[in-house]
Amino acid sequence: MIGIVDYGMGNLFSVSKALERLGADYFMSSDPEKLAEAKAILLPGVGAFKDAMDQLNSLGLTPFLKDYAVSGRPLLGICLGMQLLFENSNEYGFAEGLSLLPGTIRHFPGVDAEGNSYKVPHMGWNKLKYQVPSPLLDGIEESHVYFVHSYLAKTDSEIINASADYGEEVPAIVSRNNVMGMQFHPEKSGETGMALLRNFINMSESKVTL
Amino acid sequence: MITKRIIPCLDVKEGRVVKGIQFLGLRDAGDPVELAAFYDREGADELVFLDISASHEGRKTMVEVVKSVAASLAIPFTVGGGINSLEDMKRILRAGADKVSLNTAAVVNPDLISEGARFFGTQCIVVAIDAKYDEEIGTWMVYTHGGRAKTDKTAVAWAQEAVKRGAGEILLTSMDSDGEKQGFNLELTSAVSNAVSVPVIASGGAGNAEHFYDAFSRGKADAALAASIFHYKETSVKEVKNFLLSRGVNIR
């Protein structure tokens, strides 16, 4: 079973329905003890970083997620859920993240290197450019996925599996061993998104060590 | 770079799609779920559902519609119409919609934009603006209540204020162009798009594929919405996208 972390932030409905369509068993919970039994954890999230961390902290989910990451089982953060995996963010005030991945979360500057301004949020379909190979990308061509975010990860290139071009190179899929994140919404990204989630489900079902 | 988006809009009344859609092969052309799936297959980048129910019952039905659509659709969708409070937003977003669109309610109570943005994030809050040109003043004015009531706000200034308050996107309908099929209002669209830092969806006036090209090039729109030309099969999302591709527009 895949455990979806329910901490009051965001649209669990779409994510859970996507897993259902893919035939994956899942449950939603905010209870660390129950979630600890999951074969894989999905951390969704929409909203502000600080609010989300406050929620995780008050529910006792922060130490749980850190322990879970050490257990070696797959952990996938989506959108804000991905951002929470990093060290900190300055969205609505500075907040510490889960520090499972190296780097910080910063606002899009809204101006590119040539001084051209662009719109924020980064909203819509953008094309993935593959970087460091990952089993998440197996059998999937570089194609468009749906992004909605105003903040992006500043991180090491060695953990970036796919990026998108929006004013700068935006980390789109990141991972270090079993800890993975997607900045876009796979559950809203048509067939490509479904295929990415399918690969995540396969990881949770296989005995492959990540 | 990010692609330009094509967005079909569906009017829903008491849980059923109205303005009938003339498609063969659909079991039930009034079923929002089936139509959503159809447009998804056609390559629509997003969908907008506009609840035009007048009754309380109709509004409750809309929540059920949103749930069924969210359960089957793997592209984002926005719901507008009859959203007047934070509670209304919660109901619709928790049922699985990705964004809510505020129109009259945002003009009457602009704090609703900020409250919604703070609670759900700016990316969930679309402010819909119905605008009509005023010859005397020489600019576009904002109308509410389905275009029946004129306000003292100019479209550009209101768009800017809405964004300042937390709107993540502007859905801009030209009342002058709407229904005329002579193309989107490019002057209005570019004026608003240049004035705000968030994406602008052009709406009103689509008659053929070329009009979409104009909206993106001269109109500076980030997305374009149409209803009847898709519903009545005057063109299809696929056709529009093929045309845009041939003109070098970045699309999905």
C-beta of residue B58 within 8 angstroms of C-beta of residue B19: no
Distance CA B252, CA B249 (A): 10
Residue type at position A89: S
What's the whole-number mean pLDDT along residues A167-185?
97
Is the model's pLDDT at A209 over the cut of 60? no
Strands (E), A53-110: 75-78, 88-89, 95-96, 104-107
pLDDT at B21: 53
pLDDT in tens, B118-134: 888 888 999 999 999 99
What's the whole-number mean pLDDT along residues B230-247?
94
What's the whole-number mean pLDDT along residues B55-78?
91
Kind and range of the H or E run holding B139 = strand B139-144
User: Who among B3, B120, B121 is closest to A125 (CB)?
Assistant: B3
C-beta of residue A181 within 8 angstroms of C-beta of residue A173: yes
pLDDT in tens, A81-104: 999 999 999 988 899 999 999 999
pLDDT band at residue B60 using 50, 70 and 90 as cut-offs: confident
What's the whole-number mean pLDDT along residues B155-177?
97
Within 13 Å and on the Cβ side, how many CA atoms surround B63? Answer: 14
What's the whole-number mean pLDDT along residues B39-43?
94
Are the beta carbons of B2 and A126 separated by less than 8 Å? yes
Are the beta carbons of A17 and B5 separated by less than 8 Å? no
* Percent of residues, chain B, with pLDDT higher than 90: 80
pLDDT at A149: 92
Are the beta carbons of A110 and B197 separated by less than 8 Å? yes
CA angle A172, A174, A178 (to 5 degrees): 145
Q: Tokens for A144?
A: 């468009």
pLDDT band at residue A8 using 50, 70 and 90 as cut-offs: confident
Closest-CA distance, B148 to chain A, in angstroms, reads 31
Q: Assess whether A122 carries a catalytic annotation.
A: no
Is the model's pLDDT at B24 over the cut of 70? no
C-beta of residue B34 within 8 angstroms of C-beta of residue B27: yes
Are the beta carbons of B98 and A13 separated by less than 8 Å? no
Chain A residues near residue B223 by CB distance under 8 angstroms: 124
Strands (E), A44-197: 75-78, 88-89, 95-96, 104-107, 122-127, 129-130, 144-149, 151-154, 160-165, 169-176, 179-182
pLDDT at A70: 97
Is the model's pLDDT at B252 over the cut of 80? yes
pLDDT band at residue B42 using 50, 70 and 90 as cut-offs: very high
Query: With an 8 Å Cβ cutoff, is B221 touching chain A?
Result: no
Question: Active-site residue numbers of B?
Answer: 11, 130
pLDDT at A92: 81
pTM above 0.80? yes
Is the model's pLDDT at B27 over the cut of 80? no
pLDDT at B26: 61
User: Who among B1, B124, B223 is closest to A166 (CB)?
Assistant: B1
C-beta of residue B208 within 8 angstroms of C-beta of residue B229: yes
Is the model's pLDDT at B1 over the cut of 90? no
pLDDT at A47: 80
C-beta of residue B72 within 8 angstroms of C-beta of residue B36: yes
Is the model's pLDDT at B109 over the cut of 80? yes
| Interface size, chain A vs chain B, as Cβ–Cβ contacts under 8 Å | 96
The single-letter DSSP state of residue A149 is E
